[in-house]
Structure 1
Amino acid sequence: MAVSNWNLDKSHSGINFSVRHMMITNVRGSFNEFSAEVSADPTDFTSANVTVTIDAASIDTKDEGRDGHLKSPDFFNVEQHPNFVFKSTGIKSKGGEDYELTGDLTIAGVTKSVVLNTEISGPAKDPWGNEKIGVIANGSINRSEFGVTWNAALETGGFLVSDTVKLHIELSFAKA
């Protein structure tokens, strides 16, 4: 097959994260506004080009006060850096549907290379004849490497917010 463009099916997609809070529990959240551009040959995903753009202000942790703090200069500074951007730099097959997706991630104006363990399913035709692929990507980043360093020491030792942020991304695409 030839390289095709794939359109994001946002109603079947999500970008989620979790981060350890107070060293005892996890805060979970998502980003409600994002887009993705994919160019790929569905018979050889290792040649795919992927760009994901996330509206940083669309963060949702189910706590308006916390979301406001995350949007502030203490964390993402969304007024100066409204978007996070991921651009793929390489995809390696690990066999079957398993891949290692490497790319440059930009958060708050800082770009670092990240690696995501990725599953790519499909292509498959839906009941209306549309060709679809599904992508699940998991990994973690160190937020301080992106200059997102705000924290508070706890009386019992440790810090309020972990440096490690776990990512869980599920995206669905339809062939253009």
Structure 2
Amino acid sequence: MGLRGQVRTRDGWAVQHAIVTMTDMTGTQVLRTGADEEGAVRDDSPLVPGPYTVVVTAVGYAPVASTALVTRTGRADLGTVTLARQGGVELPPPGVWSIDPAHSSVGAVAQHLGISSVRGRFTEFGGRIEILDTGGGPEQARVEAVISAATIDTGNGLRDKHLRSPDFLDVERFPEITYSGTGVTPAGPDRWKVHGRLALHGVVRDLDLDLSYLGTGPDPWGGVRAAFHATTELHRADFAMNYNQVVQAGIAAIGTTLRIELEIQAVRGEKLPEV
């Protein structure tokens, strides 16, 4: 007898802090219990057969109400109750997530000669994402990333050499580009604004990322992965990269604005799998 059920997120993760309240048709509360660490609801309180209203709540999630029928055995089965983040957005489960460079990309796009774009990418980088407590709010997320500046690759050796020079990245003096994200706020369904600081070319400035969370799932190596897409724009002059060769008609060879595009896969845990 009693109440049974499971409380999960849309990705199937347990909501450990969920509270389940059960009332009869007069509105009188007959049961109040919590989900365990596996998101399971198990309460053996005696229940009178009949229909009841069940409300499942959790901090940071939209409440869900449903009708449960207690059978002659005195038992009601809720099945799986799915909770959605307040506002329709979610983050991965709490814990540390290590960025997997082999399945991620860090790219930049600049305008070239005012008529086309030059795309580049960094081939060496790493970092981690830490979700401290999804129950405490999405602002509890942290991001740390380090990029090797000398690994810039645009597919043109001469251009890459120039980009590594003091005219641009000056990789001898500033070998690393770092980003430290201090929190995130919702920006729409499955979209977030990451707030952080970028250290580039010896200059540190505030820089926000527009982030889309693409979901979580198992990988072939026994791990769990979360996927993200993020973009932002920065101005070279803000980071003391003022080189600007001008060609005919006053058109700059390389645009002053860079669009940053990130495709990130992160593996749950402190270590990456051996593949």
Which TM bucket (shorter chain)? over 0.9
Aligned 8 A contact 1:42 1:123 in 2: no
Task: Provide Cα deviations, 1:5-37, integer angstroms capped at 9, x if missing partner.
Answer: 112222210001110011111110100000112
Larger radius of gyration between Structure 1 and Structure 2: 2
Q: Which runs of 4+ in 1 moved over 6 A?
A: none
Residue of structure 1 equivalent to 2:188 = 95
Count of residue pairs the alignment pairs up: 176
Over aligned residue pairs, what C-alpha RMSD do you find?
A: 1.7
Change (3 A) 1:42 1:90: closer
TM-score by length of structure 1 reads 0.93
Residue of structure 2 equivalent to 1:107 = 200
Residue of structure 2 equivalent to 1:16 = 107
1:124 is displaced (CA, Å) by: 2.3
Alignment of 1:153-168 (within 5 A): 153-168=246-261
Residue of structure 1 equivalent to 2:212 = 119
Change (3 A) 1:128 1:153: closer
TM-score by length of structure 2 reads 0.61
Task: Provide Cα deviations, 1:64-110, integer angstroms capped at 9, x if missing partner.
Answer: 10000000111111000001101012211123310011210011100
Indicate the SS of the match to 1:80: coil
Aligned 8 A contact 1:142 1:165 in 2: yes
Matched, 1:58 2:141: no
Counterpart Cα distance in 1 of 2:100 and 2:250: 44
Structure 1: which amino acid aligns with 2:178? V
The one of 142, 160, 165 equivalent to 1:67 is 160
Aligned 8 A contact 2:133 2:140 in 1: no
More strand by share: 1
1:157 is displaced (CA, Å) by: 1.8
Indicate the SS of the match to 1:6: strand
1:127 is displaced (CA, Å) by: 4.9
1:45 is displaced (CA, Å) by: 4.3
Counterpart Cα distance in 2 of 1:91 and 1:117: 10
Counterpart Cα distance in 2 of 1:47 and 1:92: 9
Q: Where in structure 2 are there 5+ consecutive unaligned residues?
A: 1-15, 17-92, 270-275
Counterpart Cα distance in 1 of 2:189 and 2:217: 15
Counterpart Cα distance in 1 of 2:133 and 2:211: 15
Residue of structure 2 equivalent to 1:39 = 130
Counterpart Cα distance in 2 of 1:45 and 1:120: 12
Residue of structure 1 equivalent to 2:262 = 169
Counterpart Cα distance in 1 of 2:216 and 2:141: 14
Structure 2: which amino acid aligns with 1:115? D
